[in-house]
Amino acid sequence: MKETLKYLTGIAGPSGYGSKTTAHQISLDSLSPSIPPSLLTAIVTGATSGIGAETARVLAKRGVRVVIAAKDLAKAEKVKENIKKENKKAEIIILEIDLSSFASIHRFCDHFLSLGLPLHILINNAGKYSQKLEFSEDKIELTFATNYLGHFLLTEMLIEKMVKTASETGIQGRIVNVSSVIHNWVNPKTFCFTNLLTPKNYNGTQAYAQSKLANILHAKELSRQLKARKANVTINAVHPGIVKTGIIRDYRGFITDSLYFVASKLLKSTSQGAATTCYVALSPQIGGVSGKYFADCNETHCSAMANDVTLAWKLLNQSRALVNKRLLPLPLGTKT
């Protein structure tokens, strides 16, 4: 009750921010004389619409070099144009990626690494909700492949670059996994790796919730591993709030029109929706904080399953085993 009231009124939490804080406000407050944003490079996935586009815009406006990792290059060009209209000097690089395809993620990483740029911030934001059971080209259920496994592989392939950048520049690397409060809805009985890859009884809401739970488990376990090797890179998960974006439109069959009307009173603006991501990516307040879950720009509780250390360890090991098996060197002459 107290939490709902806080959300509706926008009362600030311990960080000094609340549900009504905007990404712009966070970026202004996060300016640090010791780390000019112009020194930073960020990759934002899913930056062609909704929360990701706003995150990219705000970061670029502050002077961060932004790599838009996009499936639809025409949409990415439009986002770039809009950012440039606001800030002619903004440095935006567009690189193609389809997060549901291991081969495409490989191409993206090869391309990015060949540019020789540093990497300080990785925002794993892209997401999809699929009402019907669909499979990726790697024959994995599409929501899990896109929202979790794709970001897992992307992070695996870029983590050494981030660790190196942090050690060379002394600037802490930050990874943000965009999750959702819906991770609380996971049915523990269906959360087993093979079932996530090829579900027996598909339910779009469960599939989405499971992928969002996996985003938090990924952040928690990788954070433990990064701490163990004393790497100066943090990884946290966030719930952006409920925002009327592309993803919520796909949810219409699930939220009936009457419920949607009530829910609309609770929706955040896109700028408010991007605030927690920007807070976790930029704010000096949480330097060194890793393996945590944030909402409304404050650390908050996640579900018992999301806090299950064994489950997180198992998920990461199984994910590593799967991608290693699928990505064994391809026969000579194979086109990726």
Ligand X SMILES: NC(=O)c1ccc[n+]([C@@H]2O[C@H](COP(=O)([O-])OP(=O)(O)OC[C@H]3O[C@@H](n4cnc5c(N)ncnc54)[C@H](OP(=O)(O)O)[C@@H]3O)[C@@H](O)[C@H]2O)c1
Binding site for ligand X (CB under 6 A): 45-46, 48-52, 71-72, 75, 97-100, 125-128, 146, 178, 180, 239-240, 242-243, 245-248
Looking at the Cβ atoms of 60 and 171, the one nearer to ligand X is: 60
Catalytic residue among 202, 208, 279, 293: 202
Looking at the Cβ atoms of 91 and 250, the one nearer to ligand X is: 250
Which pairs from 164-172 meet CB under 8 Å and 24+ separation? 165/41, 165/118, 165/119, 165/120, 166/120, 166/231, 166/232, 166/233, 167/232, 168/118, 169/39, 169/118, 169/120, 170/232, 171/35, 171/39, 171/40, 171/120, 172/120, 172/232, 172/233, 172/234, 172/287, 172/288
Q: How far is the CB of 274 from ligand X (least distance, A)?
A: 8
Looking at the Cβ atoms of 98 and 296, the one nearer to ligand X is: 98
* 293 assigned to active site: no
Q: How far is the CB of 287 from ligand X (least distance, A)?
A: 24
Looking at the Cβ atoms of 50 and 291, the one nearer to ligand X is: 50
Which pairs from 87-93 meet CB under 8 Å and 24+ separation? 87/60, 87/61, 89/63, 90/60, 90/61, 90/63, 90/66, 91/60, 91/65, 91/66, 92/56, 92/60, 92/65, 92/66, 92/67, 92/68, 93/65, 93/66, 93/67, 93/68
Q: How far is the CB of 45 from ligand X (least distance, A)?
A: 6
Question: Among 235, 240, 209, which residue's Cα sits nearest to residue 220?
Answer: 235
Looking at the Cβ atoms of 178 and 226, the one nearer to ligand X is: 178
Q: How far is the CB of 254 from ligand X (least distance, A)?
A: 12
Q: How far is the CB of 8 from ligand X (least distance, A)?
A: 16
Active site residues: 202
